[in-house]
Amino acid sequence: MDVNTHQQLLASLLNGIKTGSSIQVKKIGGQKILRVAWLNILHDPKVFQALAKAIADDVARRNYVFDAIASIETSGAKYGIALSYELGKPYFSIHKAGKVVFEEPLSVDEKSVTEDRMVTLYLDRAVASTFKRVLLVDDIRRSSRTLNAAVDLLGKCNVEVVACYVILDLAFAGHPLPSKIPPENYHPLFVIGDVDDRGRCSVVEGLVPRQLGQMACA
C-alpha cells in the first residue's frame, strides 16, 4: 500500500467516526454501544491493511522487541492476524470458547460490558508458553476488564505483554485504563471522548490522528 492510499484510508476512517457516517448508537442497559460497520461487521481487506500498517509503523518507531502477536477473539483476532502478516510475526488467539485440541487449557472469567455477559477467556499454555514477549491487540476497550484478564492469562504462561494496541478506546464510558498494562505501553488508534445519539464522535486522541498530523507536516 503506497503512502497516499494509506493516508487517504486512515483519513476516511477518522472522518467517518467524527461525522457519524460509519457509526450507529445502540442504547443497551443505559450504555451507549457503538455499531461500527468497518470495525467488526463488514470486513474490508484494505481497512485491515491500513490499520495494521499504522500499528506496525508505531511498533518500529518505539523499537518494541517481541516474539509473537496475541489477540482476543472474535473481532480482535482479525486485527491481530492482519498485524501478524504486516510484521511477519507468529500469531495466536486468546479464545472465548474452549477447544478440544488444547493440550494445556487455561481459563479466566470476566464480565464483558460490550457483550453484556460473563465471558470466559481460554488459552492453550502449550502454545503461549513457547513465546516470552507478545504484542496484545484488541478491537475495543470499554471497561478494561477483558484486557486485564487477557494479561493475567498470558502471565500464567510466563508471557510478558510488551505493549497493547486497540482500535477504538471508548473513553466516554468513563472506565479507567487497563491496570495490568503500563500507560506508556497502551496505544489506542482512536480515542472517543464523547458520542451523540447520531453517532458523531469527538476523537480526542489516538495513534491515527497523530500519524495523520505527522504526514500532513512531512
Across the chain, what does the average pLDDT equal?
Answer: 91
Amino acid identity, position 211:
Q
Residue whose cell numbers read 481459563: 107
pLDDT at 134: 98
Of 95, 117, 121, nearest to 108 by C-alpha is: 121
DSSP state of 95: B
d(CA 139, CA 169): 9
pLDDT-above-70 percentage for the chain: 93
Mean pLDDT of 106-128: 79
How far is CA 77 from its chain centroid? 9
State the distance between the two ends of the chain, measured CA to CA, in whole angstroms.
18
Q: Residue 17, CB half-sphere, CA atoms under 13 Å: how many?
A: 26
Which fold, 3-217? Rossmann fold (3.40.50)
Residue 98: pLDDT over 80:
no
Of 51, 61, 65, 39, nearest to 163 by C-alpha is: 65
pLDDT band (50, 70, 90) for residue 113: low
d(CA 63, CA 156): 26
Domain boundaries, the chain: 3-217
pLDDT band (50, 70, 90) for residue 115: low
pLDDT at 138: 97
d(CA 99, CA 59): 31
d(CA 58, CA 63): 8
In terms of pLDDT, which residue wins out, 119 or 108?
A: 108
For residue 36, give the C-alpha cell: 461500527
pLDDT digits (tens, 9 = 90+) for 17-38: 999 999 999 988 888 999 998 9
pLDDT digits (tens, 9 = 90+) for 45-77: 999 999 999 999 999 999 999 999 999 987 899
pLDDT at 153: 94
Residue 216: pLDDT over 70:
no
Q: Which residues pair with 71 in a beta bridge?
A: 93, 137
